[in-house]
Structure 1
Amino acid sequence: MTSRRLALLGLAAATLAAMPLATLAQGYPDKPLRIMVGASPGGGTDILARLLAEKFAADFKQSVVVENRPGASNTIAAEVTARAAADGTTLLLATNTGQAIAPHLLKLKFDPLKDLQPVGLVAVMPNVLVVPATSPYKTVKDLVGAMGSGDLKYASSGIGSTQHIAGEAFALATNGKATHVPYKGSSQAHVDVISGEVTMMFDSTSSAMGQIRAGKFRPLAVTAERRAAELPDVPTLAEQGIRNADVQTWYGLYVTAGTPKASVDKLVAELGRVLKLPDVQARIKGLGGEVGTISLEQFSEMNRSEFDRYGKLVRDANIKAEGS
């Protein structure tokens, strides 16, 4: 090889090395994407992830696959994302379960605040207290009256999930007792709720609405400041005299920390565009939720403040992971 050609190759390599990450990321995404989900198929997180995947695939002209990695309070999927290449091809649709609660209960091998880059808030869903349609409990008052026996069980999608926290907050607020039965996802818990194996469940409206509409769940209350638009006849806990038990589920999109800013900016813009689509808004509202409308800066601040808020709640209520 001639010295001139070597010099040209060296110049090209030097130019590429000096090129800013923003320039290198202009072609993003140039390969398939995956959205990690820390819950089983069929639950609220999975439903929203597949909705985003469909829209992203059409706009980015790339395949977008949803990968379910349930378990460990949604943190398995989060760890996969945290350890992935920082090229923007591995996304995470997370909830406050994995981002704000589990880190205070489990020993994680990653830092959710440092190793995951927020992209945007997707939706906020109230949790709804449900019992089987065949349950003898018709109202929250009926349920509270039976909790003194200590024989009742409540299901959740996992230790440290918002459903778990909601159940503990409810027990504290009512001075009642109920045994926590964790599952690897809402859809698995639904089977035992419907059969009556467990007494009740606090579930996000996004995953519970299907069973409510099918007549398999009886909703008794929503854990929010106001009634859910899709459940106008279901009162809030506060309306029924129970305070300090409002726990909602929020869903946020994240990418591996260190992903080039230009790629993150593209994701932020794409998520914002998708969340304004009428069919997407109708789908989220149909799940009983509210569409995320805050900026990236506001969501980043929320990500930190929610981490701190739930940490205090876990400590104040002395909530611990089973076996700890």
Structure 2
Amino acid sequence: MVGASPGGGTDILARMLAEKFAPDFKQSVVVENRPGASNTIAAELTARAAPDGTTLLLATNTGQAIAPHLLKLKFDPLKDLVPVGLVAVMPNVLVVPATAPYRNVKELLAAMVEKPGSFKYASSGIGSTQHIAGEAFTLITNTKAIHIPYKGSSQAHVDVISGEVSMMFDSTSSAMSQIRAGKFRPLAVTAEKRSQELPDVPTLAEQGVRGADVTTWYGMYVTAGTPKPVVDRLVAELNKVLKLPDVQARIRGLGGDVGALSVEQFAEMNRQEYERFGKLVKDANIKPEGQ
């Protein structure tokens, strides 16, 4: 189960894992995209599935740590889903259309100050890491930009490339293909350090904007109540796949780091992220659209 549309970062990783899982499980592994509601539609379907280990969720911190503070969910992501493992951590990157006139954050901010309220930023949905990064950026820089949510990054890319939307704080896993194709111009990495795949792109902090660091992590979950031997087998399989050289190379090529936590450490990380983003949503007064 994938809570985003085809072509985005979550979808790319899910299809890579499905291809690797199939031979070991001796059956096909189908990726089902259920975009919308900040990735929580797919999460709820997984939470309500039979607890037999045949329904897996590839989730991000959008659905697991942010959306629960913005949406009224019919399930508890911390109780109704069991962690299998951390797959990857990707920095987010501030991108603008390749045709945009600004070459760095300073020039972008100058334009935003000159024309307040005329800028739009895209995200893969309300409560996504792209949304949170955009809100943090405008809050810290005392600028204004209109949030335009989509059902997935790939849908948002069309309007960013055309210039219909001014910018996006996308994950590198989604944005790298457009950056390499010369359709996006990356202005800054929203992480503590530069991305190995984008060594010439400075961080926001390097350009004077501190406190807007947001990364996207991807983790695998299974329905709560799944027998422990089944969960253990899934954990072992995921760990095996993540050690494959071609899988590690693919994740690095997307600008990320391969998950290197035990399942217990990942569960604790999820809990801490849930609390951290809950505070951020409250402090920044971020609300669902229309409220």
TM-score by length of 1: 0.89
Q: Quote the residue 2:118 is aligned against.
A: 151
Question: C-alpha displacement at 1:124, in angstroms?
Answer: 0.2
Question: C-alpha displacement at 1:296, in angstroms?
Answer: 0.6
Q: How many residues align?
A: 289
* Cα root mean square deviation, aligned: 0.5
Pair 1:188-2:155 in alignment:
yes
Q: Quote the residue 2:273 is aligned against.
A: 306
Question: C-alpha displacement at 1:136, in angstroms?
Answer: 1.2
Letter in 1 for 2:195: A
Pair 1:47-2:12 in alignment:
yes
Q: Quote the residue 1:260 is aligned against.
A: 227
Question: C-alpha displacement at 1:286, in angstroms?
Answer: 0.1
Aligned equivalent of 1:77, options 29, 42, 54:
42
Q: Quote the residue 2:76 is aligned against.
A: 111
Pair 1:93-2:58 in alignment:
yes
Q: Quote the residue 1:246 is aligned against.
A: 213
Q: Quote the residue 1:321 is aligned against.
A: 288
CA distance in 1, matches of 2:192, 2:96: 21
CA distance in 2, matches of 1:115, 1:323: 28
Letter in 2 for 1:259: T
SS in 2 for 1:64: coil
Give the structure with higher Rg (CA): 1
The percent identity for this pair of structures is 84
Question: C-alpha displacement at 1:82, in angstroms?
Answer: 0.3
Letter in 2 for 1:41: P
Question: C-alpha displacement at 1:102, in angstroms?
Answer: 0.3
Question: C-alpha displacement at 1:135, in angstroms?
Answer: 0.5
Deviations 1:222-252 (A, max 9, x none): 0111100000000000111110000000000
Question: C-alpha displacement at 1:323, in angstroms?
Answer: 1.4
Question: C-alpha displacement at 1:48, in angstroms?
Answer: 0.2
CA distance in 2, matches of 1:126, 1:37: 20
Q: Which runs of 5+ in 2 are unaligned?
A: none
Letter in 2 for 1:222: V
TM-score by length of 2: 0.99
Q: Which runs of 4+ in 1 moved over 3 A?
A: none
Letter in 1 for 2:12: I
Question: C-alpha displacement at 1:59, in angstroms?
Answer: 1.1
CA distance in 2, matches of 1:291, 1:176: 35
Pair 1:224-2:191 in alignment:
yes
Q: Quote the residue 2:23 is aligned against.
A: 58
Q: Which runs of 5+ in 1 are unaligned?
A: 1-35
SS in 1 for 2:198: coil
CA distance in 2, matches of 1:42, 1:114: 29
CA distance in 2, matches of 1:270, 1:224: 30
Pair 1:287-2:287 in alignment:
no
